[in-house]
Amino acid sequence: MLDDYNGGFNKGYVTVSDKDDSDYELEPDDPGYDQTKLLFDDYTVFDIGTLNLAAPQSCLNYKWVVTDPSAENTMEAVPVTFYDGNTSSYCATKDFVVYIPESGLETEHTYKLTLAVTGKKGGIYTDSCLFYIVKYYVNY
């Protein structure tokens, strides 16, 4: 049961098989790596939930930035209160963890999340996605 649960998460890696049929994961700066695989195109999270994403472990630097595509200046970063209680316009750790009720983000709203990483050999890779915060309710 735990394997089924853990298997539901995307690590942002591309898995390939070699001639021996052994699987390995491509990471930034590996030949053939596709930066559009860092994130899915979109995510939905409940207003009582946590958005928890991770970048590849091997990277030298990480930068997660949330923007509001509906704002007048769509490139301006939105300040977010992260799971550790720090509020910032970006996150520079491998993990992006935001507890939505304490994040300062609006419910029923779409945000754009951009991840930029520096690979182990200095290459820079960027991907982005949309995430939508929905109201959680139970219909009795």
In this predicted structure, what is the pLDDT of residue 138? 84
Instruction: Provide the token pair at 76.
Output: 């301006």
The number of folded domains in the chain is: 1
- The DSSP-derived string for 86-104 is -EES-B-SSEEEEEGGGT-
Domain for residue 126, yes or no? yes
What are the pLDDT digits (tens) for 74-131? 889 999 999 999 999 999 999 999 999 999 999 999 999 999 999 999 999 999 999 9
In this predicted structure, what is the pLDDT of residue 74? 86
Domain for residue 139, yes or no? no
Q: What b/e string do you get for 7-20 counting C-beta neighbours within 10 Å, with b at 16 or more? A: eeeeebbbeeeeee
CATH number at residue 88: 2.60.40.10
In this predicted structure, what is the pLDDT of residue 47? 96
Domain for residue 108, yes or no? yes
d(C-alpha 79, C-alpha 45), whole Å: 18
Domain for residue 127, yes or no? yes
What are the pLDDT digits (tens) for 3-59? 444 444 444 444 444 555 556 678 899 988 889 989 999 999 999 999 999 999 999
Domain for residue 140, yes or no? no
Domain for residue 38, yes or no? yes
Mean pLDDT of 60-83: 94
Domain for residue 115, yes or no? yes
Structural domain boundaries enclosing 65: 2-134
